[in-house]
Amino acid sequence: MLDTKAKLSTLWLFATLNYVYADVVTLYDKAGTFNYNQTFLLGAAILVEIPMAMVLLSRILKYRASRWANIIAGAVMTVIQAATLFVAIPTAYYVFFSVIEVVTTLVIVWSAWKWPVPASPE
C-alpha cells in the first residue's frame, strides 16, 4: 500500500497527464480556429504548472505544508476544471477528460483532508 505522499504524488501525475493530453487533443481540434496569443499561452502554462509542481511538492514537503498544498491546489484545480465546462458547449472528449480530472482532484483533496498526522515528525 502506498504511503500518503506517494499516493498524492501519483494522483497528481495522473491528473497532469490527463490535463496535458486533453490540451493536446483540444489544440488539434481547434487548430486554426482560435488565436492563441502569448497571454493566453502564459496563463495556460501557469495553470498546468500547478499539478506538475504538486507531483514534486507532494513528495518533498513536510506533512503540514504538503497536506495544505494538496488541499488548496486540488480545490483550485477542481473549481477551474469544472468551470471550463460552462465557458462554451464542451466536446464529448473534453467532458470525458474533465470528469476524470475533477474526480482525481477531488480524491486528492479528500486524501489530503483525511491524511492522519504521522507518528514520527517529518
Give pLDDT tens digits for 3-47. Answer: 999 999 999 999 999 999 998 888 888 777 777 789 988 998 999
- Model confidence pLDDT, tens digit, residues 69-112: 999 999 999 999 999 999 999 999 999 999 999 999 999 999 99
Domain residue spans of the chain: 4-113
pLDDT at 1: 56
- What is the Cα–Cα distance from 81 to 101, expressed in whole angstroms? 7
- Res 94: pLDDT: 96
- Give CA torsion, residues 25, 43, 61, 112, to 10 deg: -60
pLDDT at 31: 77
43 Cβ neighbours under 8 A, 6+ residues apart: none
